[in-house]
């Protein structure tokens, strides 16, 4: 009888020691490990505190700050959740749940985290500033953003697997991103399978609709490569320049457009999870991209340094030959008007 009772006695749970990260490291060390300083980590936590704080403190419930720190560590390093658990003193299962819960909270509209840090300028003062910053690069006028697509490698998804194979024959999410001249992200779309061409993403995005319906003021332009259709608000290069004006336009266009290539490089250097193969579903990968974009802008806002790694310099980007675009862009109705507008723009500003 006594043996039976003793056999039913519950074993006492043994908890791993949790590290007090915010007091263990100074700001420089926090930025190196988590890409944000102490104030930045607390700021992000405040956006989602209500959504991720446990209702009780029973069983050593994990506080909101530690959940955010765990998520930041994963985004910054791209390490598997088990490594994050070892770093911070929690189990693999707990780390996985925390990352999922925190990403969900950060992209959910009530938190307003994405919209707070990723937004396209609409006010005239903001637009004038963006134009002036771009003009400093190569004297290319009236530009507020540079647009391009970048592929984020993913593990083969269970559904619609073939749609995610891109033209380089690996599975990916194709991400459309717009940078300003200071490498801040103005707009990001992270929902398309890798097989989708950049021009289709553009033609079905909300930003293009804003240009068309006038919610984005006139005389604002994006600058993009030849994979995009030429439109009155999207300036692309001449594939075969025939005049000195067109050649001058192309030279300035190329130097100015380097911003988006270098901006994508900065984003992936800051958050290594975007470098390798993301081993989660496409939907969760989209969440990761959106959160990384907002965090990148928060780092810019707080003047936090990039990781100390090699970067592609401006001159190197300018010296690279144009990569041929073997897939012709989708040509919408009225594209001829965009080509005529580009001719007018080039003649007006590059004569």
**pTM, entire model:** 0.88
Q: Which residue has the higher pLDDT, 302 or 20?
A: 302
Mean pLDDT of all residues in 236-259:
97
d(CA 294, CA 276): 20
Q: How many residues does the chain have?
A: 351
- 236 closest CA partner among 257, 216, 218, 219: 257
Tokens of 209: 């609709």
> Among 237, 231, 228, 239, which Cα is nearest to 330's?
228
Name the residue among 272, 298, 286 with its Cα closest to residue 47.
298
Supply 324's token pair: 């041929």
Planar angle of CA 190, 193, 197, nearest 5 degrees: 90
List of residues 6+ apart from 350 with CB closer than 8 A: 245, 246, 248, 249, 252
**In whole angstroms, what is the distance from residue 263 CA to residue 181 CA?**
9
> In percent, how much of the chain has pLDDT > 90?
74
pLDDT per residue over 321-343, tens digit each? 444 444 444 444 455 688 999 99
Question: Rounded to the nearest 5°, which phi and psi values hold at 298?
Answer: -60, -40
Mean pLDDT, rounded, of the chain: 88
Over residues 59-107, the pLDDT tens digits come to: 668 899 999 999 999 999 998 665 666 677 788 888 889 999 999 999 9
- Tell me what pLDDT residue 261 has: 96
Residue 294, token pair as written in the block: 């907002």
């Amino acid at each position: 009888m006594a043996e039976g009772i003793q056999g039913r006695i519950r074993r006492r749970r043994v908890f791993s020691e949790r590290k007090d990260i915010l007091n263990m490291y100074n700001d420089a060390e926090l930025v190196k490990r988590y890409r944000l300083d102490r104030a930045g980590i607390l700021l992000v936590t405040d956006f989602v505190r209500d959504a991720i704080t446990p209702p009780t403190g029973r069983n050593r419930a994990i506080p909101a700050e530690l959940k955010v720190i765990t998520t930041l560590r994963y985004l910054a390093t791209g390490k598997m959740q088990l490594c994050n658990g070892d770093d911070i003193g929690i189990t693999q299962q707990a780390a996985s749940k925390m990352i999922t819960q925190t990403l969900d909270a950060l992209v959910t509209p009530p938190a307003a985290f994405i919209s707070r840090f990723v937004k396209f300028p609409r006010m005239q003062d903001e637009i004038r500033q963006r134009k002036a910053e771009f003009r400093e690069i190569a004297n290319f006028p009236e530009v507020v953003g540079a647009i391009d697509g970048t592929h984020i490698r993913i593990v083969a998804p269970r559904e619609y697997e073939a749609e995610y194979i891109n033209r380089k024959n690996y599975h990916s999410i194709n991400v459309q991103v717009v940078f300003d001249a200071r490498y801040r992200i103005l707009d990001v779309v992270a929902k398309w399978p890798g097989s989708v061409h950049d021009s289709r993403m553009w033609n079905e995005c909300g930003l293009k609709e804003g240009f068309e319906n006038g919610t984005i003021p006139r005389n604002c332009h994006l600058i993009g490569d030849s994979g995009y259709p030429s439109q009155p608000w999207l300036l692309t290069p001449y594939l075969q320049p025939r005049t000195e004006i067109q050649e001058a336009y192309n030279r300035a266009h190329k130097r100015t457009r380097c911003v988006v290539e270098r901006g994508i490089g900065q984003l992936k250097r800051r958050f290594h999870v975007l470098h390798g193969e993301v081993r989660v579903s496409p939907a969760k990968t989209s969440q990761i991209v959106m959160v990384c974009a907002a965090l990148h802008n928060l780092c810019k806002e707080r003047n936090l340094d990039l990781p100390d790694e090699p970067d592609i310099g401006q001159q190197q980007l300018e010296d690279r030959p144009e990569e041929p675009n073997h897939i012709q862009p989708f040509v919408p109705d009225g594209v001829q008007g965009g080509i005529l507008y580009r001719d007018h723009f080039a003649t007006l500003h590059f004569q």
